[in-house]
A and B are shown apart, each in its own frame.
Chain A
Amino acid sequence: MSPDLATTLRSETPAAPNELRERVALVAAAPPPPPRRIFSLRRVAMVGGSAVAAASLAIAVGVGLKTAAVSDPNVQSFSAEQLPRQPRAATTVQEGEANAVGPLLDANLQRSAAAPAPTPGRAQDYTAALTVLVDGTEDLSATTQRALRATRRLGGYVVTVRYGAPEPTEGSATLRLNIPVSRVQAAIVQFSGLGRILAQETQITDLQQSLDEITRQIRRLERSGGSKEQIAALRRKRAEINRRAAFATVNLDLTTHEPEQKATPPSRFDRAVDDATGVLAAELAIGAYALIVAAPILLLLGLAFAGSRAYRRYSDQRLLERA
């Protein structure tokens, strides 16, 4: 471009005439009209967005506080009033009268819980299972020895013993002991003192009905002159039941492995935060879903808007080229 051309164009272009200056001065002197658009698109978007965000937050906080106010049912189930309904007090019936004491979770309660006593004068199959926590592998060995000595002292005997310490700090011993029924309660009390009780289960199955029935059958056969072999077989069976009823079976597990602590129930504040966060996450998911659904429509609207603007510019340019 020639510099002369630019200079010439600038110098030859006139300024606005005085008449125009006066007209514009009159226009400028007038007070500006009040804003026509109070609710501009940007302002509506900002206010609407803020309102939606505030409402979402308020709902989340409200739901969090409301649900946190309700007591946790898990905590209630461990309350003292509820404990009698726990499985340890449940009664099952197997082959006549039977009592089952389920596993006890609370060690303090276990210590005070006594094993049910066998009924004197009735033949019963008495089985008890006890899991006791000991301090370490050294203590495990000593405790096992103590349990064996106590068994012998009470007139019982050892059926099986399985002792294992795969790691220096961890080990377990499983003892299957037969204790005279009359002294089984004393045995359980002694075993309970070997360490901290982790679990205890006692099952009593009544054998007296079977025994009485066999006795009746033997008498009937003797009166009717039944075969001696049949009578002998029934007597053997009765003797077997009596032997079973004379000794209680105690399965004693000694372990160094402490069970995992139950997770402490979250506090009210934590539950409120968790619930509020959950509600917020759900709201965000709904928002994202709505956005995904609306995205194609928004995209089409955007394309239409961009297309119309481009066409408008093109037509403006054509118009100016013709002018």
Chain B
Amino acid sequence: MTSAHPSFASIAETHLDDVYRYLLYMTANPSTAEDLTSETFERALSRWDRFDAKRGTAQTWLCQLARSTALDHFRAEERRRRREERVAEPDRGAEIELPDEYGPVLRQALRTLSAADREVIALRIVLEQDAQTAARVLGISPSACTTRLNRALERLEKKVRPRLVA
């Protein structure tokens, strides 16, 4: 493969952490994030012939696929929850046990923010994407992306400021 169109294996190796971190923020569940990351790369492999480096970076393309995979997961979860609600007391779900190595700020973000807030933080702060790239993944305008990020950070900062000060 030429440098203009790298191999899928090298793309997967380079961007695995990005995809995992993004999905971890979206799902707030490490094991679900792992499953969805694997599923994302399976999808990416099946659509590898459609990837065009001229239209966007591999990271952007993978994040778009990851988002689509996560949305499918959320829809399926919602359908499952609705089915369960019809026959039994709704299970609000026990608080997810996050591994010990997760820091307090990350724990707070994952537990208190919505998936919409978490994903914009993941793209803009953790993956350090610019507003235009993140907006492309989210399917919104760059200004709307920036507004969404500011609001999400504002909410998170209120929760974690005491810890940061300490």
Given contacts A9-B125, A15-B17, contact A28 B12 (CB under 8 A): yes
Closest chain B CB from A26 CB (angstroms): 9
- 5 additional A-B pairs beyond A15-B20, A24-B38, beta carbons within 8 Å, are A10-B128, A13-B126, A16-B16, A17-B30, A323-B114
Collect the chain B residues with CB atoms within 8 Å of residue A220's CB. Answer: none
Q: Does B78 contact A (CB under 8 A)?
A: yes
Docked CA distance A25–B38 (Å): 10
Residues 147 to 166 of chain B near chain A (Cβ within 8 Å): 150, 153, 156-157, 160-161, 164
| Interface residue from B42, B71, B99, B103 paired with A11 (Cβ < 8 Å) | B103
Docked CA distance A292–B107 (Å): 59
Closest chain B CB from A234 CB (angstroms): 109
Binding stretch for chain A, among B45-53, B83-91, B129-137:
B45-53
Contact A320–B46 (Cβ < 8 Å): no
Closest chain B CB from A31 CB (angstroms): 9
Docked CA distance A136–B12 (Å): 95
Q: Does A5 contact B (CB under 8 A)?
A: yes
Closest chain A CB from B75 CB (angstroms): 7
Q: Which residues of A contact B (CB under 8 A)?
A: 1-2, 4-6, 8-17, 19-21, 23-25, 27-30, 32-33, 35-36, 313, 316-317, 319-323
Closest chain B CB from A178 CB (angstroms): 95
| Interface residue from B41, B115, B126 paired with A320 (Cβ < 8 Å) | B115
The chain B residue with its CB closest to the CB of A310 is B139
Given contacts A2-B157, A15-B20, A28-B13, contact A320 B37 (CB under 8 A): no
Q: List 16 A-B contacts (CB under 8 A).
A: A1-B150, A1-B153, A5-B164, A9-B109, A12-B104, A15-B17, A17-B34, A20-B37, A21-B16, A25-B12, A28-B13, A28-B41, A28-B45, A319-B115, A320-B71, A323-B115
Docked CA distance A121–B84 (Å): 129
Docked CA distance A164–B38 (Å): 104
- Classify the interface of chain A: helix, strand, loop or mixed: helix
Contact B45–A30 (Cβ < 8 Å): yes
The chain A residue with its CB closest to the CB of B48 is A32
The chain A residue with its CB closest to the CB of B46 is A33
Hey, what's the 0/1 contact readout for B104-142 against A, CB within 8 Å counting as 1? 111001000011100101000110100000000001100
Docked CA distance A142–B16 (Å): 108
Collect the chain A residues with CB atoms within 8 Å of residue B4's CB. Answer: none
- Classify the interface of chain B: helix, strand, loop or mixed: helix
Docked CA distance A20–B17 (Å): 10
Closest chain A CB from B117 CB (angstroms): 8
Residues 8 to 42 of chain B near chain A (Cβ within 8 Å): 8-9, 12-13, 16-17, 19-21, 24-27, 30, 34, 37-38, 41-42
The chain B residue with its CB closest to the CB of A317 is B116
The chain A residue with its CB closest to the CB of B7 is A28
Docked CA distance A321–B9 (Å): 34
Docked CA distance A180–B6 (Å): 108
Contact A313–B101 (Cβ < 8 Å): no
Collect the chain A residues with CB atoms within 8 Å of residue B114's CB. Answer: 320-323
Contact B45–A320 (Cβ < 8 Å): no
Contact A24–B150 (Cβ < 8 Å): no
Contact A320–B12 (Cβ < 8 Å): no
4 smallest beta-carbon distances between A and B, as pairs:
A12-B103, A323-B115, A16-B20, A320-B116
Contact A8–B49 (Cβ < 8 Å): no
The chain A residue with its CB closest to the CB of B12 is A28
Closest chain A CB from B153 CB (angstroms): 5
Docked CA distance A1–B19 (Å): 24
Question: Looking at A6, A16, A21, A316, which has the most chain B CB atoms within 10 Å of its CB?
Answer: A16
Given contacts A8-B164, A13-B106, A27-B41, contact A20 B16 (CB under 8 A): yes
Contact A320–B38 (Cβ < 8 Å): no
Docked CA distance A1–B21 (Å): 21
Contact A27–B105 (Cβ < 8 Å): no
Contact A12–B106 (Cβ < 8 Å): yes
Given contacts A16-B16, A32-B49, A33-B46, contact A10 B125 (CB under 8 A): yes
